């Protein structure tokens, strides 16, 4: 697959997960799927995957409209979860359930996946997100994605040019690097690999949580162990979210990581790995 397969992509894709891009790190007996957040990609978790060590096989998935996966024309968490489920059934989870970890938007995908396809999920880790409308869903990310779309990509010669062009609107160097990972060359010019315009237009759906998650069984719960891992300096998980989280995931345990913002795995990687490893290797 080329670095930029989306320039002439059709606006919609069939309801299958076979074409989602993914890579597996390690070959240990414990299998876990990592699902990234908005504007991320599977390989963002490569360092964490390697740090988990030889006990784990870590499957890093690119969600639709991100990384090397195909583009779509809208955002629906139920459809995304069904596509991830089809992807896992075809290969990584063909022999039985696997652990699933999702961060931010990926955490919502992971929750919906567990509720709609509980046979695929052993233990669930939800990182710094709650099953509700997320704070800053349209504000911060509307600004960030709007900045990306406003850039004159044809004028850029190097990635340094892109960084400089974004610096005034996005002064945080780490956030710029995160966004600019989506910049790719296609036939000599820079393009956005992620479906930035569609995602910006659908930020309300990105920030929301589907209701009901399972149409034929709106009161369904996922009764396996769940780790709800948040950043102590983030407002994406609040005390008021606990009743709703426990209603869907009655065996949930909430852990807040000190010194971590919304990007828990980047702010406190050692604490993040330690918490995830301890949870995924614990006895029931």
pLDDT for position 17: 59
Q: What CA–CA distance (Å, rounded) separates 237 from 130?
A: 6
The residue-averaged pLDDT of 80-87 equals: 98
CATH 3.40.50.1820 fits 22-135+209-281, yes or no: yes
| pLDDT interval class at 74 (50, 70, 90) | very high
Which residues are tagged catalytic?
104, 197, 262
- Structural contact between residues 121 and 113, judged by C-beta atoms closer than 8 angstroms: yes
DSSP line for 6-44:
-TT--S---S-STT--EEEE---SEEEEEE--TT--GGG
Residues 151-161 have pLDDT tens digits of 999 999 999 99
Where b means 16+ CB within 10 Å and e means fewer, 190-222 reads bbbbbbbebbbebbeebbbbbeebeeeeeeeeb
Lowest model confidence (mean pLDDT) among 7-11, 136-140, 176-180, 182-186: 7-11
Q: Check whether 92 has a pLDDT greater than 80.
A: yes
pLDDT for position 4: 36
- Structural contact between residues 64 and 76, judged by C-beta atoms closer than 8 angstroms: no
Q: Check whether 2 has a pLDDT greater than 80.
A: no
State the DSSP H helix or E strand holding residue 255, giving kind and residue range, or none if neither: strand 252-257
Q: Percent of the chain beyond pLDDT 90? A: 89
Q: What CA–CA distance (Å, rounded) separates 210 from 259?
A: 31
Q: Check whether 85 has a pLDDT greater than 60.
A: yes
Residues 156-189 have pLDDT tens digits of 999 999 999 999 999 999 999 999 999 999 998 9
């Amino acid at each position: 697959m080329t670095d930029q397969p989306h320039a002439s992509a059709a606006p919609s894709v069939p309801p299958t997960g076979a074409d989602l891009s993914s890579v597996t790190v390690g070959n240990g007996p414990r299998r876990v799927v990592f699902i990234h957040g908005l504007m991320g990609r599977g390989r963002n978790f490569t360092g964490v995957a390697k740090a988990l060590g030889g006990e784990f096989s870590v499957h890093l998935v690119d969600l639709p409209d991100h990384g090397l996966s195909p583009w779509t024309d809208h955002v629906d968490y139920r459809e995304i979860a069904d596509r991830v489920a089809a992807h896992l059934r075809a290969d990584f989870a063909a022999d039985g359930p696997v652990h699933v970890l999702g961060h931010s938007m990926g955490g919502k995908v992971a929750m919906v996946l567990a509720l709609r396809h509980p046979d695929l999920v052993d233990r669930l880790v939800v990182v710094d997100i709650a099953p509700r409308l997320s704070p800053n869903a349209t504000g911060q990310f509307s600004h960030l994605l709007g900045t990306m779309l406003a850039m004159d990509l044809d004028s850029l010669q190097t990635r340094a040019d892109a960084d400089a062009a974004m610096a005034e609107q996005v002064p945080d160097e780490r956030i710029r690097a995160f966004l600019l990972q989506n910049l790719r060359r296609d036939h000599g010019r820079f393009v956005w690999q992620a479906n930035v315009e569609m995602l910006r237009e659908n930020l309300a759906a990105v920030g929301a949580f589907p209701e009901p998650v399972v149409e034929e069984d709106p009161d369904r719960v996922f009764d396996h162990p769940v780790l709800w891992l948040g950043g102590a300096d983030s407002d994406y998980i609040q005390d008021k979210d606990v009743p709703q989280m426990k209603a869907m995931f009655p065996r949930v345990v909430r852990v807040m990581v000190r010194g971590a913002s919304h990007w828990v795995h980047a702010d406190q990687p050692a604490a993040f790995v330690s918490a995830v490893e301890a949870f995924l290797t614990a006895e029931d």
